[in-house]
């Protein structure tokens, strides 16, 4: 029981990153009807910028904060540029075109990373707390721990996604996002600056994704490949949220994390290597079947526009 | 007006994605400094280091150098387990190194004559086309290399080490007037489809003379049976796969994965007397190589496996494996793997406040990137190394450093497999030279089976011990045990046990 409690705790903290990435993903989708597969690449570039700032340093707090802000800003700029150059010209194209375009941008960013930074493993010196809290001791499970950095990421996720959900549901800017989401042509006809709002959403979505990527890279290892797998998991959570409801990202991320964590254990008596990482794909298929109506409606809207 | 525009936009998007994909595949080697050379990722022909920028590698110095010989004992000692036949080929021309290996490398301009390890063509010519892949001017050699994927950045140094050796030989005139042409094929540290496709390409399309100095162990799990069946010589492979030790036409340079695991665990269990172990193993053919050797030793000493966690190459989340292992509470954790997975595992274990002893086989803490990335947590880690540590500054090691740095700027990325492939390249050159000007596959195999390489000094504190057996001529290779003592240092290791032959090794 103690082991499974630990696995659930692991899942919740791992899933915080998925939830945060998914929030950016959903925001962008709502504003432009494009699945931004390049988001992980934007976050990865931001993480490498942070690495450049922090390398050969002692991991000081001030420098880390500045590097973090710069990394997020660079990712936001990439989001803005992608929207302007690779998405806006495709506004009238079939739904598949912007999707392919973001895959192209992702490959371009990955290539840029390899050209600029190479394929080496990197550690980002950082001031994030590394010690574990023995949270299980409260209920007599002394072995159950949670890393302080993981708690920090969870808190950041809850705060940022909640704020974003509030912004989208309670502000004028959020109203324009929703109007674009519901009927882009109608919104444009009513004078909503569709292009500008879409660009802002792309920048914000990329920035939120970058926060997740930078935190994940700071607590593990940075290389050109590891962050990209997170994008698939963000897609799973995004679909769980119906590509619409940001609040569901708060639940979907940790939920996927728990499923992954338990899938990697011997919960059914056998361990299957790789199941932990691939369970997300199964979840995606299951979600697409369960939420088929929502997704079809959304894609149908796009085709109609 | 919208309808006609859609296909065009889609086509442009597809084209862009294709171009980006191509860029991803093609640009990486440029960063790695290969574009300046004639040899590029994929098919490539090794050119001599030229005096113009168009063909010189990124850090190539002008001039050439000798690949020092002097590696053979005057009389090969008969230390094999079975009778060793005397060489049936003519003795090679004497080596004329006068002031130490690579002595001329630092001397400045290229010498006009051939370097010492190269052999001039006989006055009567070299026989022209003498076998598949051999012409009057070239010897076409093929190899599997790690040029992409999660360990691509480390793996590419293996190819570079081979090129550094071959470049010098070509600059000095080649072997009996023939230049070495290396065709590399990227197998990305995998077994299965990629090496199978590379094998077919190299043997049927490129029609190589032999595999040479070829450094991707997992690829040889798949390719060794194919090469063995087709009787294509494989000169000085890296040795990681056990398959390389069970074929009479394949000649490994370094120790098999299972030998690495056996020597490390034998040392560790004798020293610490643990009762239980947790294992983190790469879930593929090569991970299994280390695992087989590890389990032999664990079984011998009665050490119980309380947790065996497997992971797929490229997996990024190790919280479950670290948690399972921590709750099983083993006396030590054994890694049987490439470096990326265990580095992430250690980071996770550190986050859970857990640090068991961690001896390992495989490409682990003996790759200097490991201690640097894991930091202080890696202090005390124990791992294997096939050769003496570079800090010993043995003649071959000094020569290796000079030769590598002459062509490439990423000396900090070399690892023990880079050393292995540099040794393999030198052994390849020596093999071809000993086979004489009338080069055939049969002659090469004759040289290698003759016992001529028994006692071959790698220059890294280890000599080959050739053991003839029913299955062919095998080489039992030594394994050293090292410990990480100063993770942030350029040389973070301490030698715990000198390189010794694998005590469990049998010639088969």
The pair of three-digit structure tokens given for residue B120, joined into one six-digit string: 């001039």
Say whether residue B329 is in contact with chain A using an 8 A CB cutoff. Answer: no
Q: Collect all residues of chain A within an 8 Å Cβ-Cβ radius of residue B152.
A: 119
Cross-chain Cβ contact A100/B17 below 8 Å: yes
Best mutation target, A18, A104, A257, to test chain B (most B CBs within 10 A): A104
Q: What is the pTM of this model?
A: 0.76
Out of A75-89, B6-20, B114-128, the most confident range is A75-89
- pLDDT surpassing 50 at residue B459: yes
Question: Cβ neighbours of residue B296 under 8 Å, at least 6 residues apart?
Answer: B258, B262, B504
Question: Cβ neighbours of residue A56 under 8 Å, at least 6 residues apart?
Answer: none
How large is the average pLDDT for residues B22-32?
36
How far apart, in Å, do the first and last CA atoms of chain B sit? 75
DSSP H or E stretch at residue B278: strand B276-282
**Nearest CA of chain B to the CA of A86: how many Å?**
9
- pLDDT surpassing 80 at residue A102: yes
Cross-chain Cβ contact B323/A94 below 8 Å: no
The pair of three-digit structure tokens given for residue B371, joined into one six-digit string: 């201690």
Best mutation target, B3, B6, B20, to test chain A (most A CBs within 10 A): B20
How large is the average pLDDT for residues A99-117?
91
Say whether residue B24 is in contact with chain A using an 8 A CB cutoff. Answer: yes
Give the pLDDT confidence score for residue A120 in this predicted structure: 75
Q: How far apart are CA B357 and CA B368, in angstroms?
A: 19
Cross-chain Cβ contact A114/B24 below 8 Å: yes
Give the confidence band of A292 by pLDDT, cuts at 50, 70, 90: low
- pLDDT surpassing 60 at residue B453: yes
Q: Collect all residues of chain A within an 8 Å Cβ-Cβ radius of residue B349.
A: none
Q: CB of A39 within 8 A of CB of A234?
A: yes
**Nearest CA of chain B to the CA of A97: how many Å?**
5
Q: Are strands A146-147 and A132-133 parallel, antiparallel or unpaired?
A: antiparallel
Cross-chain Cβ contact A115/B6 below 8 Å: no
Task: Select the residue of B14, B19, B28 nearest A100 (Cβ to Cβ).
Answer: B14
Helix (H, G, I), strand (E, B) or coil at B262: helix
How large is the average pLDDT for residues B351-363?
86
How large is the average pLDDT for residues A64-82?
96
Q: How far apart are CA B381 and CA B363, in angstroms?
A: 13
CA dihedral B389, B394, B399, B401 (to 10 degrees): 30
- pLDDT surpassing 90 at residue B117: no
Higher pLDDT, A189 or A209: A209
Give the confidence band of B470 by pLDDT, cuts at 50, 70, 90: low
Cross-chain Cβ contact B350/A130 below 8 Å: yes
Q: What is the pLDDT of residues B232-262, one digit of tens each?
A: 999 998 888 888 888 888 988 888 888 899 9
**Nearest CA of chain B to the CA of A152: how many Å?**
13
Best mutation target, A110, A114, A224, A231, to test chain B (most B CBs within 10 A): A114
How large is the average pLDDT for residues A75-79?
96
Higher pLDDT, B389 or B144: B144
Cross-chain Cβ contact B32/A118 below 8 Å: yes
Give the pLDDT confidence score for residue B116 in this predicted structure: 47
Q: What is the pLDDT of residues A230-277, one digit of tens each?
A: 888 899 999 888 888 899 999 999 999 999 888 877 766 667 777 777
Among residues of chain B, what percentage have pLDDT more than 70?
75
- Closest by CA to B146, choosing from B216, B196, B241, B194, is B216
- pLDDT surpassing 60 at residue B356: yes
Q: How far apart are CA A9 and CA B30, in angstroms?
A: 44
Give the pLDDT confidence score for residue B216 in this predicted structure: 86
The pair of three-digit structure tokens given for residue B472, joined into one six-digit string: 């062919």
Q: Which residue of A has its CA nearest to B317?
A: A277
- pLDDT surpassing 70 at residue B271: yes
Alpha-carbon B62 to chain mean position: 27
Say whether residue B336 is in contact with chain A using an 8 A CB cutoff. Answer: no
Q: How far apart are CA B405 and CA B276, in angstroms?
A: 44
Q: Which residue of A has its CA nearest to B367?
A: A121
Exposure string over A211-250, b if 16+ CB within 10 A, otherwise e = bbbbbbbbbbbbbbbbbbebbbbbbbbbbbbbbbbbbbbb
Q: Are strands B210-212 and B234-237 parallel, antiparallel or unpaired?
A: parallel
The pair of three-digit structure tokens given for residue B19, joined into one six-digit string: 């171009």
Instruction: Name the least confident of A219-228, B136-145, B240-249, B493-502.
Output: A219-228
CB contacts under 8 A, B 153-172 vs A, are 153
Q: How far apart are CA A75 and CA A78, in angstroms?
A: 5
Write out the DSSP string of B125-166.
---SS-STTB-SSEEEEEEEE--SSTTHHHHHHHHHHHHHHH
**Nearest CA of chain A to the CA of B137: how many Å?**
36
Q: How far apart are CA B428 and CA B421, in angstroms?
A: 10
Give the pLDDT confidence score for residue B153 in this predicted structure: 79
- Cross-sheet strand order for the sheet of B179-186: B179-186, B138-145, B210-212, B234-237, B250-252
Instruction: Name the least confident of A1-5, A257-261, B290-294.
Output: A1-5
Q: Which residue of A has its CA nearest to B316?
A: A226
Q: Which residue of A has its CA nearest to B14?
A: A100
- Closest by CA to B428, choosing from B150, B266, B276, B208, is B208
The per-residue pLDDT of chain A, averaged, comes to 86
Task: Select the residue of A10, A93, A264 nearest B9 (Cβ to Cβ).
Answer: A93
Q: What is the pLDDT of residues B55-110, one digit of tens each?
A: 333 333 333 333 443 344 333 333 333 333 333 334 443 333 333 333 333 233 33
Cross-chain Cβ contact B352/A90 below 8 Å: no
Rg (CA), chain B: 23
Cross-chain Cβ contact B28/A103 below 8 Å: no
The pair of three-digit structure tokens given for residue A60, joined into one six-digit string: 């000081």
Q: How far apart are CA B491 and CA B371, in angstroms?
A: 10
Q: CB of B306 within 8 A of CB of B277?
A: yes
Task: Select the residue of A7, A92, A121 nearest B5 (Cβ to Cβ).
Answer: A92
Cross-chain Cβ contact A3/B323 below 8 Å: yes
Cross-chain Cβ contact A277/B316 below 8 Å: yes
Q: Which residue of B has its CA nearest to A86?
A: B13
Question: Cβ neighbours of residue A37 under 8 Å, at least 6 residues apart?
Answer: A99, A102, A103, A105, A106, A231, A235
Q: What is the pLDDT of residues B9-23, one digit of tens each?
A: 444 444 444 444 444
- pLDDT surpassing 90 at residue B279: yes
Q: Which residue of B has its CA nearest to A8?
A: B320
- Closest by CA to B227, choosing from B445, B464, B485, is B445
Cross-chain Cβ contact B317/A277 below 8 Å: yes
- pLDDT surpassing 60 at residue A27: yes
Say whether residue B331 is in contact with chain A using an 8 A CB cutoff. Answer: no
Q: Collect all residues of chain A within an 8 Å Cβ-Cβ radius of residue B350.
A: 130
Cα torsion angle, A116, A120, A125, A128, sign? positive
How many Cβ contacts (< 8 angstroms) between chains A and B? 153
Question: Cβ neighbours of residue B15 under 8 Å, at least 6 residues apart?
Answer: none
CB contacts under 8 A, B 246-275 vs A, are none
- pLDDT surpassing 90 at residue B481: yes
**Nearest CA of chain B to the CA of A148: how many Å?**
8
Q: Which residue of B has its CA nearest to A98?
A: B13
How large is the average pLDDT for residues A223-230?
78
**Nearest CA of chain B to the CA of A173: how many Å?**
29
What number of other Cβ atoms are within 10 A of residue B437's Cβ?
A: 20
CB contacts under 8 A, B 30-69 vs A, are 30-32
Q: How far apart are CA A204 and CA A39, in angstroms?
A: 11
Cross-chain Cβ contact A260/B317 below 8 Å: yes
How far apart, in Å, do the first and last CA atoms of chain A sit? 52
Q: Which residue of B has its CA nearest to A2?
A: B327
Say whether residue B355 is in contact with chain A using an 8 A CB cutoff. Answer: no
Q: CB of A216 within 8 A of CB of A81?
A: no
How large is the average pLDDT for residues B138-142?
97
Give the pLDDT confidence score for residue B336 in this predicted structure: 84
DSSP H or E stretch at residue A70: helix A61-82
Q: How far apart are CA B38 and CA B389, in angstroms?
A: 32
The pair of three-digit structure tokens given for residue B134, joined into one six-digit string: 């051999």
Cross-chain Cβ contact B17/A103 below 8 Å: yes
Cross-chain Cβ contact A120/B369 below 8 Å: yes
Q: Are strands B382-385 and B359-362 parallel, antiparallel or unpaired?
A: parallel
Q: What is the pLDDT of residues B320-341, one digit of tens each?
A: 899 999 999 999 999 988 888 8
Cross-chain Cβ contact B24/A3 below 8 Å: no
Give the confidence band of A44 by pLDDT, cuts at 50, 70, 90: very high
Say whether residue B347 is in contact with chain A using an 8 A CB cutoff. Answer: yes
Cross-chain Cβ contact A107/B324 below 8 Å: no
- pLDDT surpassing 60 at residue B407: yes
Among residues of chain B, what percentage have pLDDT more than 90?
38
Say whether residue B324 is in contact with chain A using an 8 A CB cutoff. Answer: yes
Q: Which residue of B has its CA nearest to A3?
A: B327
Cα torsion angle, B479, B482, B487, B490, sign? negative
Alpha-carbon A29 to chain mean position: 13
The per-residue pLDDT of chain B, averaged, comes to 77
Give the pLDDT confidence score for residue B207 in this predicted structure: 96
Q: How far apart are CA B311 and CA B313, in angstroms?
A: 7
Give the pLDDT confidence score for residue A268 in this predicted structure: 62
Cross-chain Cβ contact B320/A120 below 8 Å: no
Give the pLDDT confidence score for residue B96 in this predicted structure: 31
Per-residue HEC secondary structure of A253-266 comes to HHHHHHHHHHHCCC
């Amino acid at each position: 029981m103690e082991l499974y409690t630990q696995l659930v705790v692991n899942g919740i903290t791992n899933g915080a990153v998925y939830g945060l990435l998914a929030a950016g993903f959903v925001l962008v989708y709502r504003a432009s009807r494009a699945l931004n597969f390049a988001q992980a690449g934007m976050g990865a570039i931001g993480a490498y910028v942070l690495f450049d700032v922090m390398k050969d340093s002692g991991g000081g707090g001030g420098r880390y904060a500045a590097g973090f802000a710069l990394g997020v800003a660079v990712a936001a700029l990439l989001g803005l540029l992608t929207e302007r150059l690779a998405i806006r010209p495709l506004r009238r194209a079939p739904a598949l075109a912007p999707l392919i375009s973001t895959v192209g941008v992702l490959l371009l960013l990955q290539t840029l990373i390899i050209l600029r930074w190479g394929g080496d493993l990197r550690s980002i010196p950082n001031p994030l707390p590394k010690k574990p809290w023995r949270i299980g001791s409260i209920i007599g499970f002394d072995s159950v721990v949670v890393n302080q950095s993981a708690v920090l990421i969870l808190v950041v996720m809850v705060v940022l996604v909640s704020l974003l959900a509030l912004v989208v549901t309670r502000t004028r800017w959020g109203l324009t996002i929703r109007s674009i989401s519901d009927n882009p042509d109608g919104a444009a006809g009513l004078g909503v600056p569709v292009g500008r709002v879409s660009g802002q959403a792309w920048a914000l979505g990329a920035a939120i994704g970058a926060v997740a990527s930078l935190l994940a890279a700071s607590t593990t290892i940075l290389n050109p490949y590891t962050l990209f797998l997170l994008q698939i998991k963000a897609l799973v959570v995004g679909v769980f949220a119906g590509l619409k409801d940001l609040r569901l990202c708060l639940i979907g991320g940790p939920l996927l994390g728990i499923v992954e964590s338990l899938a990697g254990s011997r919960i059914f008596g056998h361990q299957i290597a790789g199941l932990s990482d691939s369970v997300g794909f199964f979840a995606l298929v299951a979600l697409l079947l369960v939420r088929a109506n929502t997704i079809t409606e959304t894609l149908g809207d796009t085709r109609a526009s | 007006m919208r309808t006609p525009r859609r296909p065009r936009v889609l086509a442009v998007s597809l084209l862009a994605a294709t171009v980006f994909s191509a860029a991803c595949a093609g640009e990486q080697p440029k960063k790695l400094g290969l574009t300046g050379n004639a040899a590029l990722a994929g098919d490539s022909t090794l050119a001599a280091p030229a005096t113009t920028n168009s063909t010189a590698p990124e850090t190539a110095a002008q001039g050439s150098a000798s690949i020092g010989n002097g590696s053979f004992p005057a009389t090969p000692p008969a230390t094999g387990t079975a009778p060793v036949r005397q060489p049936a080929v003519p003795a090679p021309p004497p080596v004329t190194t006068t002031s130490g290996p690579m002595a001329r490398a630092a001397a400045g301009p290229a010498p006009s004559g051939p370097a010492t390890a190269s052999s001039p063509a006989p006055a009567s010519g070299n026989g022209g086309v003498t076998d598949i892949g051999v012409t009057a001017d070239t010897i076409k050699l093929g190899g599997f290399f790690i040029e992409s994927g999660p360990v691509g950045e480390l793996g590419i140094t293996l190819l570079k080490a081979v090129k550094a050796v071959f470049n010098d030989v070509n600059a000095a005139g080649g072997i009996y007037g023939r230049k070495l042409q290396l065709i590399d094929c990227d197998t990305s540290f995998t077994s299965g489809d990629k090496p199978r496709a590379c094998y077919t390409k190299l043997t049927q399309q490129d029609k190589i003379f032999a595999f040479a100095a070829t450094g991707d162990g997992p690829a040889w799990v798949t390719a060794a049976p194919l090469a063995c069946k087709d009787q294509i010589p494989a000169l000085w492979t890296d040795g990681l796969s056990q398959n390389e030790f069970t074929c009479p036409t394949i000649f490994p340079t370094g120790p098999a994965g299972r030998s690495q695991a056996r020597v490390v665990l034998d040392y560790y269990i004798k020293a610490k007397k643990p009762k239980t172990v947790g294992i983190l193993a790469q879930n593929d053919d090569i991970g299994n190589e280390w695992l087989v050797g590890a389990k032999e030793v664990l079984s011998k000493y009665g050490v119980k496996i309380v947790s065996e966690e497997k992971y797929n190459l490229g997996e990024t989340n190790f919280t479950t494996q670290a948690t399972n292992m921590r709750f099983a509470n083993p006396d030590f954790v054994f890694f049987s793997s490439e470096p990326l997975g265990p580095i992430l595992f250690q980071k996770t274990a550190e986050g859970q406040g857990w640090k068991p002893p961690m001896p390992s086989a495989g490409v682990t803490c003996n790759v200097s990137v490991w201690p640097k990335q894991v930091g202080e947590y890696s202090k005390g880690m124990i791992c294997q190394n096939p050769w003496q540590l570079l800090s010993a500054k043995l003649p071959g090691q000094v020569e290796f450093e000079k030769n590598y740095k002459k062509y490439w700027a990423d000396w900090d990325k070399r690892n023990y497999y880079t050393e292995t492939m540099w040794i393999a390249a030198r052994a390849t050159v020596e093999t071809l030279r000993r086979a004489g000007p009338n080069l055939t596959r049969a002659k090469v195999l004759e040289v290698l089976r003759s016992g001529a390489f028994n006692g071959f000094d790698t220059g890294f504190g280890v000599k080959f011990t050739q053991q003839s057996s029913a299955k062919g001529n095998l080489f039992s290779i030594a394994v050293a045990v090292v410990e990480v003592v100063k993770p942030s240092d350029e040389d973070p290791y301490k030698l715990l046990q000198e390189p010794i032959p694998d005590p469990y090794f049998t010639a088969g």
